[in-house]
Structure 1
Amino acid sequence: MANISAQMVKELRESTGAGMMDCKAALNETGGDMTAAQDWLRKKGLSKAAKKAGRVAAEGLIGVEVAGTKGVVVEVNSETDFVARNDLFQGLVAMIADVALGVGSDVEAIKAAKVGSITIADAINDTIAKVGENMTLRRAATLSVSKGAVGMYVHNSVTEGLGKIGVLVALESPGKTDELATLGRMVAMHVAATNPQAVEAAGLDPDLVKREKDVLADKFRQQGKPENVIEKIVDSGLKTFYKEVCLLEQAYVHDSAKTVAQALKEAEGKVGGAIKVTGFVRFALGEGIEKQDSDFAAEVAAAAGQS
C-alpha cells in the first residue's frame, strides 16, 4: 500500500477542491498517483476543479517581443519576486527576448548568442554576481506568419513586454497589418484569461481526449447507465469539453455571446481579408515547477548539526 503523506493530500485538495477525506481515499485507491486520483474524484463527482492548475513556485519574469510577422516569448526565473522588480534583471530579460527573436527558441543557442563581446550566458552570470541571486533561462518559444500579424499580450506587466503571463497569437491574413495586430492583442488577452489547450479539436493531444472520454464513461457507468446511452452522453460531453479547451470554440471573453471563431469572422470585414489562427503560445511564470515546502525549524536544526 502506498505511503500517502499529508502533503500529497493537501496538493490534491488544492488542485480539485474536494474534501480532505475524499482526497485521502482517492490517493489510497490509486496508489498515490496524483493524476489518477484527480480522475477518481471526478468519476465520483467529488472534484470541483479538476483542471485547476497547481500553485506555481518560481519567480522571475516572462518577456515578450514582436517584430513584423514574428514574435518570441521567454521565461527567465529568479529566486524571489523582489529580484524580478530589479532594473538589472528586467534589462536582462528584455535583452534575452530581443536575442531570441533573431536566434529562435533553442535555449542553448540563445545562451551562446553574443550581445557585443559577451554571450547571453555571460550576461546571466554577470547579473547573478551583481544581484546575488540565482537566475535561469528556462524556456523560449517563437511564432511567425508568412502574411498577417503576431499579436501579443503581457499580463501583470511590470514594464513594456515584461510580466507574469505572456501570450503570442499568430493571425494569417492578407488584411491590414495594423488592424490584425490590434485584433491579435485582443485574442491574446483571451488566451491569457482562458488558457486553451489547442486552436481546435484536431490539435488536442489524443491522450488528453482519451482521458476525458474514459472519465466521462466511467462516471456514468458507475451510475448504472446502459452502454448505448453512455456513448451518446460521452459524445455530448466531449462537445462541451471542446468548448472549454479549444480556442476557436470558447466563448470570447470580450463578448461572451460569440465564440472566438465568430468574433474573428466578424472582424474580417474591418481587417480586409480572411483570418486564420495558425497558432498561439501562452507562458505563465513558474507553471509546471513544483514548490518544495521548507520546514524552517528543521533547516535551522540541521544547520546546527541536530537531528
Structure 2
Amino acid sequence: MAAFTVADVKSLREKTGAGMMDAKKALEEAGGDIEAAVDALRAKGLATAQKKSSRTAAEGLVGVAVEGTKGVAVEVNSETDFVAKNDKFQDFVRNTTKVALGQSGDDIEALKGAAYPGGGTVGDKLTDNIATIGENQQVRRMKTVAVSQGTVVPYVHNAAADGLGKIGVLVALESAASADVLEPLGKQLAMHIAAAFPQALDADGLDADVIERERKIAAEKAAESGKPENVQEKMVEGAVKKFAKENALLSQVFVMDNKTPIAEVVAQAGKEAGSEIVLKDYVRFQLGEGIEKKEEDFAAEVAAAVAG
C-alpha cells in the first residue's frame, strides 16, 4: 500500500514546482514524508519554489496595534474566509489585539485569561463567538515589540479593515530621531518585510535546525558534483552563508532599490537625520503560516461514492 496519496503529490508539486514524476519519485524515496521529499528535490535542483510553503493555509485575520512605543500583532484563525469578513469576528480580533497591548509577554493562555471589553475574558468571548457564529476559531499567536525611545510602525498587507489583514508587520526603530523621519522609514521597511519574508533579524537569530537542514541539502548537492572534498566543504559553507544572508533581515537587499542591504538603509537614514537609528526588532505574521489545511476534492469524493 502506498505511503502517500495523490493529494500528497499535488501538495509537493505546489510547494516545489517539481514535475509530476519527480514529485512522485521523491515521495517514494522519502517513504511519504513530504518535508523530506522537499529537501530531496531541492538537493537535486528540482525544487523551484521553496517559499511556497509559507502560503496561507488557514483563514481568519492578523491584527496589529500600536500604543506609544509598544506594538503587538495577534493572529486569530477561523475555518472560512466568510467568517473573517464577519463584523463580529473582526471586532473580536480588533479588541483582542488591543487587550494584547496591555499584556507583559506573548503568552496566549494569559491573553485568553485577560479581561475582555464589556465583561468576561478573551477566552469567554472566543467561546461565545464559536457558539454564535457556528464555526471553530482560535487565538493562535501573538508577538510584542517595544523600544525605549523611537517608534513602532505598523503595516497591514491585504487589509480587510483598519489594522486587520492577511499579513501584519511591526517595525521597532530605536532612535532619538523625530517621528517624521522614523515613520516613513518604518513604513518602507515594513513593506520590505511583508514582501521579502525574513526569518530573523540577523544571521545569529536564524533557527539552528533550519541552518542544519540547509547544510545537509547543500552537502548532498556538493557530493553530487563529484568535486574534491575540500572543494565540497567550501561549497557547503558558501551555500549556508548565502542562505543566511538572504533570510536575515539586516543583510537582505532592500526591495525598493534591489541593491542596498537593509542594515545600510537604516544606517544611512540615521546619518541623514543626525541621530543613530537601530532596527531593534520586527514582527511578520502571515495568516495561516505553517498550518496544514485540508483541501476537499468533492469530485473525487463523488467518484469514490459511485464506485462503492
Q: Same fold (TM over 0.5)?
A: yes
Cα distance in 1 for residues equivalent to 2:141 and 2:59:
14
Is residue 150 of structure 2 the alignment partner of residue 148 of structure 1? yes
1:55-66 counterparts in 2 under 5 A?
A: 55-66=55-66
Displacement after TM superposition at 1:2 (Å): 6.0
Is residue 113 of structure 2 the alignment partner of residue 109 of structure 1? no
Displacement after TM superposition at 1:295 (Å): 4.6
Higher mean C-alpha displacement, 56-65 vs 113-122: 113-122
Preserved contact between residue 176 and residue 272 of structure 1 (Cα < 8 Å): no
Preserved contact between residue 13 and residue 20 of structure 1 (Cα < 8 Å): yes
Displacement after TM superposition at 1:221 (Å): 1.3
Cα distance in 1 for residues equivalent to 2:281 and 2:66:
15
How many pairs does the alignment contain?
A: 305
Preserved contact between residue 203 and residue 245 of structure 2 (Cα < 8 Å): no
Q: Which residue of 2 aligns with 1:224?
A: 226
- Secondary structure of the 2:138 match is strand
Is residue 168 of structure 2 the alignment partner of residue 166 of structure 1? yes
- Secondary structure of the 1:196 match is coil
Preserved contact between residue 56 and residue 290 of structure 1 (Cα < 8 Å): no
Mark the CA change 1:207 to 1:265 in structure 2 (over 3 Å): closer, same or farther: same
Mark the CA change 1:127 to 1:210 in structure 2 (over 3 Å): closer, same or farther: closer
1:177-216 counterparts in 2 under 5 A?
A: 177-216=179-218
User: Aligned partner of 1:70: which letter?
Assistant: K
Mark the CA change 1:174 to 1:9 in structure 2 (over 3 Å): closer, same or farther: same
Cα distance in 2 for residues equivalent to 1:133 and 1:147:
42
- Secondary structure of the 1:93 match is helix
Preserved contact between residue 169 and residue 187 of structure 1 (Cα < 8 Å): yes
User: Aligned partner of 1:34: which letter?
Assistant: I
Displacement after TM superposition at 1:42 (Å): 1.6
TM-score by length of 1: 0.91
RMSD in angstroms over aligned alpha carbons?
A: 2.4
TM-score by length of 2: 0.91
Is residue 68 of structure 2 the alignment partner of residue 68 of structure 1? yes
Preserved contact between residue 248 and residue 259 of structure 1 (Cα < 8 Å): yes
Mark the CA change 1:25 to 1:112 in structure 2 (over 3 Å): closer, same or farther: same
1:5-154 counterparts in 2 under 5 A?
A: 5-53=5-53, 55-103=55-103, 104-114=105-115, 115-154=117-156
- After TM superposition, where is structure 1 displaced by more than 6 Å over at least 4 residues in a row? 297-302
- Secondary structure of the 2:242 match is helix
Cα distance in 2 for residues equivalent to 1:12 and 1:179:
45
Displacement after TM superposition at 1:296 (Å): 4.0
Q: What whole-Å deviation, never above 9, does each CA across 1:189-222 have from its counterpart, x for those lacking one? A: 1111011011111111122222212211221211
Q: Show structure 1 runs of 5+ residues with no match.
A: none
1:242 to 231, 244, 253: 244
Displacement after TM superposition at 1:263 (Å): 0.8
Mark the CA change 1:294 to 1:176 in structure 2 (over 3 Å): closer, same or farther: same
- Secondary structure of the 1:52 match is helix
Cα distance in 2 for residues equivalent to 1:143 and 1:188:
14
Displacement after TM superposition at 1:178 (Å): 4.1
Displacement after TM superposition at 1:85 (Å): 1.5
Q: Show structure 2 runs of 5+ residues with no match.
A: none
Q: Which residue of 2 aligns with 1:233?
A: 235
Q: What whole-Å deviation, never above 9, does each CA across 1:10-59 have from its counterpart, x for those lacking one? A: 11111111111111111111222222211211221211123322543321
Higher mean C-alpha displacement, 9-18 vs 107-116: 107-116
Preserved contact between residue 180 and residue 271 of structure 1 (Cα < 8 Å): no
Is residue 297 of structure 2 the alignment partner of residue 268 of structure 1? no
Displacement after TM superposition at 1:301 (Å): 11
Mark the CA change 1:298 to 1:42 in structure 2 (over 3 Å): closer, same or farther: closer
Mark the CA change 1:213 to 1:129 in structure 2 (over 3 Å): closer, same or farther: closer
Cα distance in 1 for residues equivalent to 2:277 and 2:60:
35
Q: What whole-Å deviation, never above 9, does each CA across 1:126-152 have from its counterpart, x for those lacking one? A: 333443333221111111112222121
Preserved contact between residue 174 and residue 272 of structure 1 (Cα < 8 Å): no
Mark the CA change 1:218 to 1:108 in structure 2 (over 3 Å): closer, same or farther: same
Cα distance in 2 for residues equivalent to 1:154 and 1:219:
38
Cα distance in 2 for residues equivalent to 1:169 and 1:147:
13
Displacement after TM superposition at 1:299 (Å): 7.3
Displacement after TM superposition at 1:60 (Å): 1.0
Displacement after TM superposition at 1:4 (Å): 2.4
